[in-house]
Structure 1
Amino acid sequence: MPHYSIRPDPLCDQDVLDLLQLHLNEMHQWSPACKVHAMPAERLRANDVAFYSAWDGDKLAAVGALKDLGGGRGELKSMRTAPAYRGKGAGRAMLDHLIAEARHRGMVWLGLETGNATPFDAARALYARNGFAQCSAFGDYVSDDFSICMERTL
């Protein structure tokens, strides 16, 4: 298993932007447009979002973001593993980092929205193995055949 260097990312590197574009493209492929909640790079640069990239040397392995919802609550956004790093612990490393960062920032609750179709099975399993459980929709989300929300108390 590679050791990943995870760091704050300004979303300027072309590899990072390409992985985010792949993420957006696949979200639109697998879900109706009204159910795609992935954020474009411009939104991930906002002050209420902390964006990170995970590297294996000079190769991008994963990305992820933590959105501050206020009141000690946070949301995981744009969790994505590069195709060459699927099954190699990059997603888990990013998830561990985001949970640790949420705790460091004093957050006591983390939520996320993910797809409910087969292409999202691995993501839902990763979250469940790490203490997230399905919950009622929060924020502007609506849980239905295409989308579920998950949460974890920190």
Structure 2
Amino acid sequence: MAVSIAIETPLQDEVKTLVTALDAHLAPLAPAEFNFGLDLDEMAAADTTVFVARNGDSKAVGIGALKHIGQYEGQQLGEIKRMYTDPAVRGQRIGSALLEAIQERARSLGIERLVLETGVGEGLAAAVRLYQNHGFTECGAVLDYPASHYSRFFEKKLSA
């Protein structure tokens, strides 16, 4: 499937629908206090870039976001947030395309290290494989996230 990736506002119905689906997917996987997704207003903040994947019919089929944390522990840091692909099109490398666009944007912003928090278990196994296949390695808790058996943390150092 031909897919295009573009930076778009999260404040549109198609993105809201994908975020709602992502939240519904995540809700049964961990208690609410261990779901750390940005809401739509947070996604629309100046420090966050939202990427939307659209199919050949211009339908939104995936999302991902880059939050620019700024200087943190001596380096420019970015966080990957809200990665999601519509289940009807999974397996077509849309997540990879989103992740590549996020990394390209991070490099253009001078971000030296990307981090992310994701959940555990079979419901997120594909996400973990995606990150690992793109060179992310597991690390300890990042930013202000609590270490718990509900979360896994990954990082990747970026080169210019």
Aligned to 2:78, which of 74, 78, 94? 74
The question of whether the paired residues in 2 share the 8 Å contact of 1:66 and 1:77 is answered with yes
User: RMSD across aligned C-alpha pairs, in angstroms?
Assistant: 1.0
How big is the shift at 1:9?
Answer: 1.1
Please report the TM-score for the alignment, with normalisation by the length of structure 1: 0.95
1-structure distance, mates of 2:131, 2:15:
22
Q: What's 2:61 paired with?
A: 61
One-letter amino acid matched to 1:27: L
The question of whether the paired residues in 2 share the 8 Å contact of 1:24 and 1:40 is answered with no
Q: What's 1:112 paired with?
A: 116
The question of whether the paired residues in 2 share the 8 Å contact of 1:17 and 1:41 is answered with yes
- Whether 1:122 aligns to 2:126 is yes
In structure 2, runs of 5+ residues without a counterpart are none
Q: Secondary structure at the match of 1:93?
A: helix
1-structure distance, mates of 2:2, 2:62:
12
How big is the shift at 1:110?
Answer: 0.2
One-letter amino acid matched to 1:22: A
2-structure distance, mates of 1:26, 1:5:
24
Q: Secondary structure at the match of 2:25?
A: helix
1-structure distance, mates of 2:66, 2:84:
13
* Percent of residue pairs bearing the same amino acid type: 32
Q: What whole-Å deviation, never above 9, does each CA across 1:90-116 have from its counterpart, x for those lacking one?
A: 101000110111011111100000001
2-structure distance, mates of 1:23, 1:137:
22
Of the structure 1 ranges 140-149 and 76-85, higher mean CA displacement relative to structure 2 is found in: 140-149
One-letter amino acid matched to 1:10: T
Please report the TM-score for the alignment, with normalisation by the length of structure 2: 0.92
In structure 1, runs of 5+ residues without a counterpart are none
Correspondences of 1:2-151 after superposition (within 5 Å): 2-57=1-56, 58-71=58-71, 72-151=76-155
The question of whether the paired residues in 2 share the 8 Å contact of 1:74 and 1:107 is answered with yes
1-structure distance, mates of 2:12, 2:69:
27
One-letter amino acid matched to 2:45: A
Tell me the matched-pair count.
153
2-structure distance, mates of 1:43, 1:93:
23
Show structure 1 runs of 4+ deviating over 3 A: none
